[in-house]
């Protein structure tokens, strides 16, 4: 089984974190490939940056999906995921969607620990769009500006752990989600140090993507996740245009 | 006052409908300019197409906003709106957001009349994202494939009117929203023919955009609609890159 | 265009604040008239006082609406608004409804800054009735008893500004609504001093009422905002009785 | 124990129905008095009529409550109830609130059977304001215009029963609420004829009001149901003015 | 009238508190019997303990209900209530359901004061299952481990009162619910000491159960509270098996 | 890896269906054992039957969990799941929870196809308790009484497929969940015959349980899924008593 993870940001250092955790998490026989967006920003905190990342993810997915059994949008917030689920013939998931699935299977209410204050509003909207707002105990975040996006864990691990502890104690979290690709692998290194289950987006996505491949539930040919209906298009990257032209 | 309306689709015929209704709706002294996406699809019905339209809208807005007092994303569904509200220094609205504001001021529950079955799921998600799902009486739509996107009104006016009547009678709609730029102007031509107020996205957006300019409520410099924080970016169209580089 | 603003309270000093801000906000050619309730209380903080104000507003509206193109219930909380929308042949809005429309067009989540602790519960119920509770970041209020209802701004401007700042920082507000007719004009004088857009009920209502007149969306003749069905009535002020007798 | 039931409408025939069912429902030793509004409409179907009924109820309650242990607003929709709960020193309930309490104690989801199509929107808003919308299976109603408001049961009993049956079968209702004072007593006469528990507003209100008296839970002196804060008032009926003047 | 109160826990000391408050609360002529679970835990704080208590309550109810007019599950959280409502031919209620009915009749928002931190999550889920989450102002609880479950009131009355005061002041509670059978009677002894109405589960349940008997609303023979459909069963206590065998 | 699936009902024929589908679904190296409840009913349709099944599941889980890496409650509706998640040291999931996780990863809105009309209310409450009600497009069910619970698929496959098709077309389902252990394996045999992804509870649970084992997210030692606090218990089956005695 071959999984494509798309980092919709330009940070190669984050792609390396994603690849490391993805390979540690994958079952034997699951091959992992991580691609980095050729355009965009260092990391997404806002709706405007997510709009850019979604388009970058769509381009990479359109170009490369044919060699893979499933695709993962490897940024918390899942930019472009719902659109790609329509357009691609293979299963697609994202870090947030997958982390929520894991949290759902581990407890009732969860908190998200995030890397920046600004990112909270966008995360909240994504959680709400998935219908999980009733189970969201809180979002807590680092408040300092990030110096090195590829080294957030090293620079801030104690703060992140403290935020998780407050979420359990003060907010009633049954599960902690460590959010954002830059935190890939932190759940693993905190194992046994927190009083509740800890969820990581990358390992969740790798495992759940493999499950989707195994379940063979089928690709929608009707309903809102069928491919977009065929219609005129213009000026698009060839791979996206090809996806659209094979539309339902 | 100068308003920029961005059609995030490639259909010039729809841009013409938008421009006509916008000019009919604008108060004296309000100048209207409509731009058509240089890339994309004929009209947006799906999340994947919306992702493309959002990026096209962002590019046009980044390039042209400086000459305008406010910007309107002129497709129902508002692709890119929330991101542009962060990034642009001027007020931004969209057809859905503006139609909902009008409906909110005219009654309690509303129905949306749409041009295709497939488009319903995407519309429903947008209405929910704005928090208006509790006031949504129903979405009803044409079921036949559209032959001429610029001539939907001519081809289907009686069907659209019948759908509106059923929404009032069967679904309890207090207000009807005729949704989608291809229906721009239909509310005007149905005036007096329906038993409840009828709302059009384009005229609503033109009026509400002008109100936002007049109210001078201020651009966010903090909170989730402040400009995206400055950070490295790469490979972006120059106008988008410029917007990002002036970030908070 | 002629707009009638009804202060459903007996405070002439507040009516003066309303009139001043309404006139500053109105587009050229829009005439403003403000009427003060002949009976009632100094300002509404409770459901019981709102019930009285609603009846006073209904009486004034019934008597005077014929000379106007639209009517505004000029108290935050909109006492009587939904009923008047049924009964009157012209558009009606209120300070809360209009402020919410503005906030909706300016951001996702908003906070309300109020003039008394007691008033919060009533405001919360109104916001919920409009379906905006999912977008309400917080309500914050002055805690001291008000000495002079017509001079709240002078007496408490710094406190009100501080409350707004905390709403942005601690509660995640994208927009601030300064609530209550006694604060009419404060948004204008705080312009540029807050980090997010600031909304005022009176200016919003004046602008949105004019938009409703311009859009000519039509008066409901069916559905829940049609005039009340004709039926026996007794003992009512003649103007209210006349409104009822012309019922659907 | 003495209970005051206030019919906020002018229909003496409906007051008689209310009084009959109230007396049949009351425990031994509970005395019932029913007062009819001196002004208003024949029966309330709309928000505007409710606004009038609320004021009429407030006036009657203010004048007469001192001789009673509890007060019931005896119209489905409970016009004025929340305000009176603030202002009166004794427990107050209403037909809707009481019927919902009974339904809550008898099942999970309920349907409301109403006497007119128009009344449905107002009922829905009231149910939502009480937070019971998640448990509302449906509202179904008679569609014909009512000839004799005091004889709805005689004229329409089979239709009302058929509506209840459809609510159980098609809408999943666990409990049926027969709504509106004109249906007072119908639940009693349908006893044993429906497949689920049937709730009547008047008998529920009489029993629950007596429970409130017995529980002696106390009158709020703080919070949102404390009496309105003392402040200037003018032009009000003396009894209302007296209530306000003794405010917190 | 004879009411059966089932303590689904093994604590005789708590059964005594329940019996005392039930008898003080009952109208003349209402006989009270309290049964204690023959198996289970000292008091329920968790979902797992509730699962055990539900089965114990079911067994006691199946064995003894025939001598009674109504049954009360006498633990806050109502373990087994919804199932028993299906299976028993008489009305059934529980402490939470009844306390919520009282709170609903006394104000809009309520807080729950609980005896342990751990119990909060379970209470929150029950309140949500009843659809009252929108009216829940807060849950506050003792934080110290309980030494003597039958003497919580003596040991902690001042702390419990202080929690109630904070719920009113900080959380906006209109009503206080003192939750848990170990607090039976505390509301009575705090009468007049709190600024808002105080509700007790046992007295509420006794009064509401009597109301259900009096209203004679009928037992469901269809819908989701009809008896479980007849089907094979095996290995059950004889009384439960008898209940199932008489199924619809 | 060893998984224990507990059929909380007494039907050996359904246990056989569960075991077959579980073994077909499991990854290589995952061993499956299915246990059947020693007491209870043939299949659960009601809350009362679920209460019994929960206790039976708890007993089996308490006795046997020590030999397994994870436990699955193998009835749609997940009787006892939340309690077992507290009490057991290994991951626990259920058919509904797992099917919802799969549906969440495959689309936005889903419909449940159920085996009996009566079962719908219980399913709806479970879906709501998990917070997925906003994504539930519909529940549709067979209406005929079931003759042979172990042969529902053979007897009703065409009807079940037709229900699924209506859910996609009329209700807007993006995903179909075939609900209930008696339908285990049907999704597999319908593969490619429906226009949207089809989800089966058993295969989902087997895959997700294995994921939970692989992720090693940790067992809660605090929060609402920690083991129940130690306290006196009496009269319980020894295995349950042992679980409780090792409490937190």
CA–CA separation, B2 vs E85, rounded Å?
A: 66
Chain E residues within an 8 Å CB radius of C138: none
CA–CA separation, F149 vs F139, rounded Å?
A: 20
The yes-or-no reply on B/E contact (3 CB pairs or more, < 8 Å) is no
Looking at residue C153, its pLDDT comes to 85
For residues D72 and D4, is the Cβ–Cβ distance under 8 A? yes
Q: Using CA atoms of C194, C197, C203, C206 in order, give the dihedral in degrees to the nearest 10.
A: 180
CATH dotted code for F101-201: 3.40.50.12500
Pick the CATH number of C2-94+205-245 from 3.40.50.12500, 3.90.1150.10, 3.30.565.10, 3.30.2130.30: 3.40.50.12500
The ipTM assigned to this model is 0.97
Share of chain F above pLDDT 70, in %: 99
Q: Which of A38, A152, A229, A230 to mutate to test the interface with B (most CBs of B within 10 A)?
A: A229
Looking at residue A248, its pLDDT comes to 61
Residue C101 has pLDDT above 80, yes or no: yes
What is the per-residue pLDDT across D133-179, written as a single tens digit (0 to 9) for each? 999 999 999 998 778 887 888 889 899 999 999 999 999 999 999 99
Distance from CA of E41 to the nearest CA of D (A): 27
What is the per-residue pLDDT across E82-107, written as a single tens digit (0 to 9) for each? 999 999 999 999 999 999 999 999 99
Looking at residue E41, its pLDDT comes to 97
The yes-or-no reply on C/B contact (3 CB pairs or more, < 8 Å) is yes
CA–CA separation, F224 vs D87, rounded Å?
A: 41
Pick the CATH number of E2-95+205-245 from 3.40.50.12500, 3.20.190.10, 3.40.50.970, 2.40.50.140: 3.40.50.12500
Q: Could F82 and A195 be called an inter-chain contact, meaning their C-beta atoms sit closer than 8 Å?
A: no
Chain D residues within an 8 Å CB radius of E194: 218
C-alpha atoms less than 13 angstroms from C-alpha of A21 in its C-beta half-sphere: 28
Q: Which of C134, C136, C172, C195 to mutate to test the interface with A (most CBs of A within 10 A)?
A: C172
Looking at residue E146, its pLDDT comes to 78
Delimit the domains of chain E by residue range. Answer: 2-95+205-245, 97-200
Interface of B with D (CB under 8 A): 108-109, 134, 172, 174
Share of chain B above pLDDT 70, in %: 99
Please tell me if the domain spanning C2-94+205-245 has the same topology as the one spanning C97-201: yes
What residues does F178 pair with on adjacent strands? F113, F200
Q: Which of D8, D15, D38, D52 to mutate to test the interface with C (most CBs of C within 10 A)?
A: D52
CATH class, range F2-96+205-245: alpha beta
Distance from CA of B122 to the nearest CA of F (A): 11
Chain F residues within an 8 Å CB radius of A85: 107
Phi and psi, residue F234, nearest 5°: -155, 145
CA–CA separation, F7 vs C207, rounded Å?
A: 64
What is the per-residue pLDDT across F97-106, written as a single tens digit (0 to 9) for each? 999 999 999 9
Neighbours of C191 (CB within 10 A): 14
Looking at residue A199, its pLDDT comes to 97
Residue E248 has pLDDT above 80, yes or no: no
For residues D113 and D201, is the Cβ–Cβ distance under 8 A? no
For residues D33 and D5, is the Cβ–Cβ distance under 8 A? yes
Give, as one character, the DSSP assignment of residue F145.
P
What is the per-residue pLDDT across B4-25, written as a single tens digit (0 to 9) for each? 999 999 999 999 999 999 999 9
The alpha carbon of A229 is separated from its chain's Cα centroid by a whole number of angstroms, namely 27
In the structure, what pLDDT confidence band is assigned to residue E155 with cuts at 50, 70 and 90? Answer: confident
In the structure, what pLDDT confidence band is assigned to residue D248 with cuts at 50, 70 and 90? Answer: low
What residues does B4 pair with on adjacent strands? B33, B71
The alpha carbon of A83 is separated from its chain's Cα centroid by a whole number of angstroms, namely 14
Residue C110 has pLDDT above 80, yes or no: yes
The alpha carbon of E155 is separated from its chain's Cα centroid by a whole number of angstroms, namely 22
CA nearest to D14, candidates D196, D153, D217: D153
Neighbours of A248 (CB within 10 A): 13
For residues B85 and B92, is the Cβ–Cβ distance under 8 A? yes
Residue B115 has pLDDT above 80, yes or no: yes
Q: Which of B108, B110, B111, B136 to mutate to test the interface with D (most CBs of D within 10 A)?
A: B108
Nearby residues of D201 by Cβ (< 8 Å), 6 or more positions away: D74, D76, D94, D95, D96, D98, D99, D177, D178, D179, D180, D181, D184
Q: Could E39 and F236 be called an inter-chain contact, meaning their C-beta atoms sit closer than 8 Å?
A: yes
For residues C19 and C34, is the Cβ–Cβ distance under 8 A? yes
Average pLDDT, chain F: 96
Residue whose structure tokens are 């959002």:
B54
Helices (H), chain E: 12-25, 47-64, 81-87, 95-106, 119-129, 152-171, 186-189, 201-215, 238-245
What is the per-residue pLDDT across B196-243, written as a single tens digit (0 to 9) for each? 999 999 999 999 999 999 999 999 999 999 999 999 999 999 999 999
Chain F residues within an 8 Å CB radius of E45: 228-229
Residue E183 has pLDDT above 80, yes or no: yes
Distance from CA of B109 to the nearest CA of D (A): 9
Phi and psi, residue C132, nearest 5°: -95, 10
Residue C91: which region, alpha, beta or left (left: phi > 0; alpha: psi -120 to 50)? beta
Q: For CA atoms D211, D212, D218, D222, give the dihedral sign.
A: positive
Quickly name the fold that domain A97-200 has.
Rossmann fold (3.40.50)
The alpha carbon of D134 is separated from its chain's Cα centroid by a whole number of angstroms, namely 20
The alpha carbon of B55 is separated from its chain's Cα centroid by a whole number of angstroms, namely 15
Looking at residue F144, its pLDDT comes to 82
What residues does E70 pair with on adjacent strands? E3
Nearest CB among A51, A80, A243 relative to B83 is that of A51
Looking at residue E95, its pLDDT comes to 98
CA–CA separation, B133 vs B126, rounded Å?
A: 9
Chain D residues within an 8 Å CB radius of E222: 168-169, 195-196
Give, as one character, the DSSP assignment of residue A222.
S
Q: Could C196 and B100 be called an inter-chain contact, meaning their C-beta atoms sit closer than 8 Å?
A: no
Residue F202 has pLDDT above 70, yes or no: yes
Chain A residues within an 8 Å CB radius of B14: none
CA–CA separation, F209 vs F71, rounded Å?
A: 7
Looking at residue F152, its pLDDT comes to 82
Looking at residue B248, its pLDDT comes to 61
Distance from CA of F168 to the nearest CA of E (A): 26
Average pLDDT, chain B: 96
Neighbours of A24 (CB within 10 A): 14
In the structure, what pLDDT confidence band is assigned to residue F150 with cuts at 50, 70 and 90? Answer: confident
Q: Using CA atoms of E184, E185, E190, E196 in order, give the dihedral in degrees to the nearest 10.
A: 60
Chain C residues within an 8 Å CB radius of E134: 128
CA nearest to E111, candidates E158, E157, E166: E166
Average pLDDT, chain D: 96
What residues does A55 pair with on adjacent strands? none
Distance from CA of A150 to the nearest CA of E (A): 37
Q: Could A172 and E120 be called an inter-chain contact, meaning their C-beta atoms sit closer than 8 Å?
A: yes
Please name the CATH architecture into which domain B97-201 falls: 3-Layer(aba) Sandwich (3.40)
Residue A236 has pLDDT above 90, yes or no: yes
Residue B150 has pLDDT above 90, yes or no: no
Burial label, D67 (beta-carbon count in 10 A; 0-12, 13-18, 19+): exposed
CA–CA separation, B13 vs B3, rounded Å?
A: 20
CA nearest to C138, candidates B223, D129, B129: B223
CA–CA separation, B185 vs B153, rounded Å?
A: 9
| Coil, strand or helix at B4 | strand
Residue whose structure tokens are 């606004």:
D51
For B150-167, b/e burial (b = at least 16 CB within 10 A) is bebbeebeeebbebbbeb
C-alpha atoms less than 13 angstroms from C-alpha of E11 in its C-beta half-sphere: 25
* Chains in contact with chain D (at least 3 beta-carbon pairs closer than 8 A): B, C, E, F
Distance from CA of B88 to the nearest CA of F (A): 31
Phi and psi, residue C217, nearest 5°: -70, -15
Distance from CA of D222 to the nearest CA of E (A): 5
pLDDT, mean of residues F125-149: 93
What is the per-residue pLDDT across D17-40, written as a single tens digit (0 to 9) for each? 999 999 999 999 999 999 999 999
What is the per-residue pLDDT across C201-237, written as a single tens digit (0 to 9) for each? 999 999 999 999 999 999 999 999 999 999 999 999 9
Looking at residue C248, its pLDDT comes to 61
Neighbours of C20 (CB within 10 A): 16
Nearby residues of D207 by Cβ (< 8 Å), 6 or more positions away: D25, D26, D27, D98, E211, E214, E215
Burial label, B62 (beta-carbon count in 10 A; 0-12, 13-18, 19+): buried
In the structure, what pLDDT confidence band is assigned to residue E151 with cuts at 50, 70 and 90? Answer: confident
């Amino acid at each position: 089984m071959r999984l494509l993870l798309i980092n919709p940001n330009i940070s190669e250092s984050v792609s390396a974190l994603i690849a490391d955790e993805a390979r540690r998490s994958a079952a034997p026989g699951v091959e992992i490939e991580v691609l980095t967006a050729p355009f965009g920003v260092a990391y997404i905190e806002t709706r405007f940056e997510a709009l850019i990342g979604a388009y970058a993810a769509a381009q990479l997915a359109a170009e490369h999906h044919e060699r893979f059994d499933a695709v993962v949008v490897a940024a918390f917030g899942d930019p472009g995921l719902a659109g790609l689920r329509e357009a691609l013939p293979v299963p697609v998931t994202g870090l947030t969607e997958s982390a929520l699935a894991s949290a759902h299977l581990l407890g009732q209410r969860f908190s998200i620990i995030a890397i920046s204050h600004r990112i909270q509003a966008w995360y909240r909207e994504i959680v709400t769009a998935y219908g999980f707002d009733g189970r969201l105990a809180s979002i807590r975040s680092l408040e300092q500006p990030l110096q090195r996006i590829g080294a957030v864990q090293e620079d801030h691990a104690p703060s992140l752990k403290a935020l998780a502890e407050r979420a359990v104690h003060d907010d009633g979290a049954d599960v902690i989600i460590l959010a954002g690709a830059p935190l890939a692998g932190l759940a693993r290194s905190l194992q046994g140090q927190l009083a509740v289950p800890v969820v990581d987006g990358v390992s969740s996505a790798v495992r759940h993507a493999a499950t989707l491949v195994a379940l063979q539930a089928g690709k929608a040919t009707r309903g809102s996740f069928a491919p977009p209906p065929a219609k005129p298009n213009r000026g698009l990257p060839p791979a996206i245009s090809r996806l659209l032209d094979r539309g339902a």
